[in-house]
Amino acid sequence: MKKIAFIGAGSLVFTKNLVRDLLTFPAFEDCTIALMDINPERLAFAKTAVDNLIAAGAYQAQVEATTDRAEALTGAHGVVCTILVGDLAIWRTDIEIPKKYGVDINIGDTRGPAGIFRFLRTVPVMLDICRDIERYCPEAIFLNYSNPMAMLVRAMQSESKVQVTGLCHSVQGTAAMLAGWIGAPMEEITYRCAGINHQAFYLDYKWKGKDAYPLIREAVAKRPEIYNEEQVRNEMFLHLDYYVTESSGHNSEYNAWFRKRPDLIEKYCTHGTGWNPGRYGEIITYAEKLRGNWHQQMEAWRDSPIDLQRGEEYASYIFNATIGDGTLFEFNGNVRNFGLIDNVPEGCCVEVPVLASRGGLSPIHVGALPDQLAVLVNTSARCEELAVQGALMGDPRCIFHAICFDPLTSAVLSLAEIKAMVDEMFAANQAWLPQFKQLS
């Protein structure tokens, strides 16, 4: 009998969907699901939701719920992490302090000043989780869904022996979106995708073995409803020639082209019709809305109709390949770059094809990115490397330097202004950053 531990199980939508997917595989119909969260009330919602799933599917699985991480991890064969460190008050500083200095951020959970400070708060907890996995279930496969993905995975893979990778649904989600735009059934689409998390690109995208990029370009250029759905990403595609995986809201933050002036924000980041068109502080607006009717939302998610059909998240397929029936599964995962992408920094965290099997997780060599993509990706990857170095060393100067070269920040602020902004963000986060002994 297999045991799968969910750390941060109070992330109810993720937990409910991932457990549903897992139980569709015969190898896990009688598994033990260990739910762990530090919030007992959220944990109770998750336990009820999973109990309902098991009953609806007539599965033989067992459910455990605990606030004790060691208890959840003991004897686990697989671990899923969906934690979030910090409350709404501290998230606000990630967005509002940069805005005060002129850096307009939409989501701020991945990179840039907001993403880096979220990383600094989160990485001590993630490394503690890794140490517990080493102690209580050292052979377990650890799948991380928490952001900022690249920096967290980079730190965990360098500081622990745990077999960990990070997963993001933007790769398969965007592939399906593009297929819909050109009228192609998803089962007839193949692609090769690589880069870094949220800045990975489809190096090729084929329908029945033929290049489908001309069809995508025609759809974007000639159909306003498609162009308007993803204005930022479509502008990037039309000018850089390859399609990026993550949403327009996110990608508007990762470069210097869309958010450095009010007129550009108005043109590209305000009127899009897709998810997260890029308005300032979208993540805060969403969090405040949820907080206003938290119990009602949790009850609605818990009690929503149960669909037992497997979804498209990678986690269950990876567990089935590694600790289930052994069916091979290729996915895009976050791993350190040791001979995988030739023209991005060695050792940084990249998002590349990975093969899951009974032998574990095996990243696949991609080669070189097109030069125009490598320039963009290298800038973000090197900033992330500086941030990881600063976090592990407790060196605020490294963090300042990482933010100095963030494309959006450097397009808006002088070095002195960036230093003042970073100092203010450190002051706001001081209680959350025990690893920084000297903030100067």
The string of pLDDT tens digits covering residues 313-349 is 999 999 999 999 999 999 999 999 999 999 999 999 9
Q: What is the distance between the alpha carbons of residues 180 and 38, in angstroms, rounded to a whole number?
A: 40
- As a residue count, the chain comes to 440
Residues in contact with 266: Cβ distance below 8 Å, sequence separation at least 6, in sequence order? none
Under a CB-based contact definition with an 8 Å cutoff, are residues 212 and 182 in contact? yes
The confidence band for 288, taking pLDDT boundaries of 50, 70 and 90, is: confident
430: phi then psi, degrees, rounded to nearest 5:
-55, -40
Distances (CA, A) of 255 to 101, 150, 233, 326, 375: 17, 17, 11, 41, 11
Q: Which pLDDT does position 325 carry in this prediction? A: 97
Counts of helices then strands in the chain (DSSP H, E): 19, 12
Categorize the per-residue pLDDT at 402 as very low, low, confident or very high, splitting at 50, 70 and 90.
Answer: very high
Query: Residue 13: which of 304, 284, 279 has the closest Cα?
Result: 304
3-state helix, strand, coil split of the chain in percent (to 5) is: 50, 15, 30
Report domain extents, the chain.
Answer: 3-92+110-167, 93-109+168-280+313-435
Q: Considering only CA atoms, which of 192, 201, 246 is closest in space to residue 374?
A: 201
Dist. CA 382–CA 404, nearest whole Å: 11
- Whether the per-residue pLDDT at 170 is higher than 50: the answer is yes
Q: Coil, strand or helix: which one is 263? A: helix
Q: Which helix (H) or strand (E) holds 319?
A: helix 315-323
Mean pLDDT of 87-100: 94
Query: What is the rounded distance in angstroms from the CA atom of residue 92 to the CA atom of residue 87?
Result: 9
3 state DSSP class of 139: coil
Residue 192 tokens, joined: 């090769």
Kindly give the residue spans of alpha helices, DSSP state H, lying in 105-212: 112-136, 149-159, 170-182
* Residue type for position 114: A
The rounded distance, in Å, linking the Cα atoms of 323 and 358 is: 7
Neighbouring residues of 34: CB distance < 8 A, sequence distance ≥ 6? 3, 4, 5, 6, 64, 65, 66, 71, 72, 73, 76
* pLDDT tens per residue, range 209-234: 999 999 999 999 999 999 999 999 99
Q: What's the start-to-end Cα distance of the chain, in Å? A: 52
Say whether pLDDT at 86 is over 70: yes
pLDDT at 269 over 70: yes
Return the active site residues.
Answer: 169
- Looking at the DSSP bridge assignments, the partners of residue 195 are 200, 351
Percent of the chain with pLDDT over 90: 89
What is the predicted pLDDT for the residue at 294?
77
CB atoms within 10 A of CB 281: 20
**Which residue, among 260, 2, 254, has the nearest Cα to 114 in the 3D structure?**
254
pLDDT at 438: 59
For 349, list phi and psi in degrees, rounded to 5: -90, 125
Please check whether residue 202 is in contact with residue 243, taking contact to mean a CB–CB distance below 8 angstroms: yes
pLDDT tens string 104-137: 999 999 999 999 999 999 999 999 999 999 999 9
More confident residue, 1 or 403: 403
pLDDT tens figures, 232-257: 999 999 999 999 999 999 999 999 99
Question: What's the pLDDT at 281?
Answer: 87
Asked whether residue 261 carries a pLDDT value surpassing 50, the answer given is: yes
Q: What angle do the packed helices 294-303 and 12-23 form, to 10 degrees?
A: 10
What pLDDT does 285 receive? 83
Reported as a pLDDT band with limits 50, 70 and 90, residue 283 is: confident
More confident residue, 290 or 379: 379
- Provide the pLDDT for residue 440: 46
The pair of structure tokens assigned to 117 is 């400070």
Parallel, antiparallel or unpaired: strands 62-66 and 32-36: parallel
Q: Determine the pLDDT at residue 300.
A: 84
CATH homologous superfamily of 93-109+168-280+313-435 equals: AglA-like glucosidase (3.90.1820.10)
CB atoms closer than 10 angstroms to residue 63: 18
The model's pTM:
0.96
Q: What is the distance between the alpha carbons of residues 113 and 95, in angstroms, rounded to a whole number?
A: 9
Tokens describing residue 13: 């939508």
CATH of 3-92+110-167, one of 3.40.50.970, 3.60.10.10, 3.40.50.720, 3.30.70.3270: 3.40.50.720
For the beta carbon of residue 295, count every other beta carbon within 10 angstroms.
9
Average pLDDT score over the chain: 95
pLDDT digits (tens, 9 = 90+) for 45-84: 999 999 999 999 999 999 999 999 999 999 999 999 999 9
Torsion of CA 345, 349, 350, 353, to 10 degrees: 130
Q: What is the pLDDT of residue 439?
A: 53
Residue 384 has pLDDT above 60, yes or no: yes
Q: Which of 89-93, 201-205, 219-223, 403-407 has the lowest mean pLDDT?
A: 89-93
